[in-house]
Amino acid sequence: MRMDSKQQVRDNYLRIRDTIAEAAVRNGRKPEDIAFMAVTKTVAPELVNEAIDCGITLLGENRVQEWQSKKDAYRSGVPVDFIGTLQSNKVKYLIGEIRLIHSVDRLSLAQEIDRQAQKHGIVQDILLEVNIGGEDSKSGIAPDALPGLLKEIAPLSSVHVCGLMTIPPPCSDTRYLEAMQELFLKTKEIPGTDMRILSMGMSDDYADAIRFGSDLVRVGSALFGARNYH
């Protein structure tokens, strides 16, 4: 791995860290309350480890198979969240190793997570993914269906819903971020819920997402550079 690539990760990390802190303070929040996740899709383990050495304390994986091929090369002790679309037959590879699953959008997936978590004797933390823009090309539950899904998941003893996640449509304004914040606050008021995490904001909009209440921003290309899918 070229030294200039590692230096670029270091420079990017410092810039993003400072931007997160500035956005938090500007909106009356504490910088330490915003989790900075490094999204590692297609990124070589050497660069991921460089980001960890810089101060990254949370990784985000999109693909089960890719994560399995790379996880042993990562620095030990850094928690990993799963943020990509998840098929039920892949759940068994995550339970007991992944801190948080961000992308639950249907009862059948939650039930499989519950079943696998019971085998491990743990309670798996999850976020419910919301398709805030109603895009056909994206997964996620419709906002008005969220209370019903929460009610269906509630009896599952080995699953704990602790927040919401979204990937808003590319947009020149912040209306979808604002709508997601309103939905999150409304959902927090539902009796029996434990809404602690709003996972929202990526490389292009993480500062705006912090303005609208995001607790966890998922940054990939701004940290590691443009993706190389080949």
Is 84 strand, coil or helix?
coil
Give the per-residue pLDDT at 230.
Answer: 53
pLDDT at 37 over 50: yes
Give the per-residue pLDDT at 94.
Answer: 98
DSSP 85-110: ---GGGGGGTTTT-SEEEEE-SHHHH
Tokens 């997570």 label which residue? Answer: 113
Q: How far apart are the first and last CA of the chain?
A: 17
Give the per-residue pLDDT at 229.
Answer: 54
What confidence tens digit (pLDDT) does each residue in 134-188 have?
Answer: 999 899 999 999 999 999 999 999 999 999 999 999 887 899 999 999 999 999 9
What is the chain's mean pLDDT, rounded? 95
- Superfamily assignment of 3-224 in CATH? Alanine racemase (3.20.20.10)
CB 215 within 8 A of CB 199: yes
H-helix or E-strand containing 119?
A: helix 107-120
* Of 84, 120, 90, 121, nearest in space to 105 by CA: 84
* Rounded-to-10 torsion of CA 53, 56, 61, 66: 0
What's the mean pLDDT in 67-72? 97
CB 208 within 8 A of CB 185: no
What's the mean pLDDT in 8-20? 98
Residue boundaries of the structural domains of the chain: 3-224
**Cα angle 169-15-22, degrees, rounded to a multiple of 5:** 75
Give the per-residue pLDDT at 1.
Answer: 46
What confidence tens digit (pLDDT) does each residue in 76-133 have?
Answer: 999 999 999 999 999 999 999 999 999 999 999 999 999 999 999 999 999 999 999 9
- Residues 6 or more apart whose CB falls under 8 angstroms from that of 202 comprise 39, 167, 209, 217, 218, 219, 220
